[in-house]
Structure 1
Amino acid sequence: MTYQHILVAVDLSEESNVLIDKAVKLASRLEAKVSFIHIDVNFAELYSGLIDINMAEAQHQAMETSREKLDKLASYAGYPITHTFVGSGDLGQELCDTIGDYQIDLLVCGHHQDFWSKWLSSTRQLINCSPVDMLVIPLREES
């Protein structure tokens, strides 16, 4: 099978470069499209008590910051990036919706190999819901 559209899920850290490098290398060999996605936390869902800030404005600012960082990663890629998506909410749902809407056939994501990731892994959530093939890149802690 050849992949035609690869979606790279990034957390906007420097480790995202590892995922981008692998995805671009694969895409260039297959002449595939590459898109990036980052899912922000939905602040309104995190706090339900009284708080004196404008949640919509805070969410908008966070998404704008994420968009800027995603644009820098797109420049770093050195390969044509078809789409850059910034969303918020449930990671699995947002990714699955994007995969379906944009005919994605490979999802690339990272997985930290540390103590906390054994208990709190977003990659495990994606494995259980992804409708397409996944390439999971191990992200090891630097010694």
Structure 2
Amino acid sequence: MNQYQHILVAVDLTEDANTVLTRAKDIAAFNQARLTMVHVIEPLSVAYGSDIPLDLTTLQQEITEQAQHRISELADRIDLKDQDQLVVYGRPEKEIHRLAEEKDVDLIVVGSHGRHGLALILGSTSTSILHGAKCDVLAVRVGSK
């Protein structure tokens, strides 16, 4: 029996996403597991507060279109089907936990910059994902080494 059946890889839209995605793909191939990729967009009203006297709809739509295009590019590199590419809205850790439970995921793969000291205490997305997950989490070290 394979250890993992369904892997959820959470990516940002930086070059680091390639490293994280490659690691997730390798693990999925080794386990003959399904691979689903997700990018979470924080709504601008959440990220910048509701005090902004602007209509952010157009900007939010542009961000979404760019994210979908980038996710599609990443997916093409590893032959990931359209139904396994997700762009969702909300707080990254909450949406990743929700998707992991909904889709019966048994491994979440995320990138981590390996912060320590004050940055670690204050938390990061990968730390938040780790602490709330009901399945295994693999943090792939990215960025400066």
For the aligned pair, the TM-score class normalised by the smaller chain equals 0.7 to 0.9
TM-score, with normalisation over the residues of structure 1? 0.87
Tell me the alpha carbon deviations over residues 37-92 of structure 1, each in whole angstroms, 9 at most, x when there is no partner: 1111210122322423x222322221111011000000112455751111121112
CA distance in 1, matches of 2:38, 2:11: 6
Relative to structure 2, which stretch is displaced further, 62-71 or 73-82? 73-82
Residues 1:48 and 1:37: Cα distance change in structure 2 (over 3 Å): same
Is this contact kept in 2: 1:114–1:140, CA < 8 A? no
SS at 1:20 equivalent: helix
Q: Which runs of 5+ in 2 are unaligned?
A: none
Aligned partner (choices 127, 131, 135) of residue 138 of structure 2:
135
CA distance in 2, matches of 1:38, 1:64: 12
Question: AA paired with 2:69?
Answer: E
Residue 49 of structure 1 pairs with residue 51 of structure 2: yes
Residues 1:81 and 1:31: Cα distance change in structure 2 (over 3 Å): farther
Tell me the alpha carbon deviations over residues 75-123 of structure 1, each in whole angstroms, 9 at most, x when there is no partner: 1124557511111211121111111211111100011024674344111
Residues 1:140 and 1:117: Cα distance change in structure 2 (over 3 Å): farther
CA distance in 1, matches of 2:82, 2:21: 11
Superposed, 1:69-84 pairs within 5 Å as 69-78=70-79, 83-84=84-85
Q: What's the counterpart of residue 26 of structure 1?
A: 27
Cα RMSD over matched residues?
Answer: 2.0
Q: Kindly tell me the number of residue pairs found equivalent between the two proteins.
A: 141
Tell me the alpha carbon deviations over residues 3-57 of structure 1, each in whole angstroms, 9 at most, x when there is no partner: 11111110011111111111111111111111111111210122322423x2223
Q: What's the counterpart of residue 15 of structure 1?
A: 16
Aligned partner (choices 126, 129, 132) of residue 126 of structure 1:
129
Is this contact kept in 1: 2:112–2:139, CA < 8 A? yes
CA distance in 2, matches of 1:57, 1:100: 32
CA distance in 1, matches of 2:137, 2:52: 40
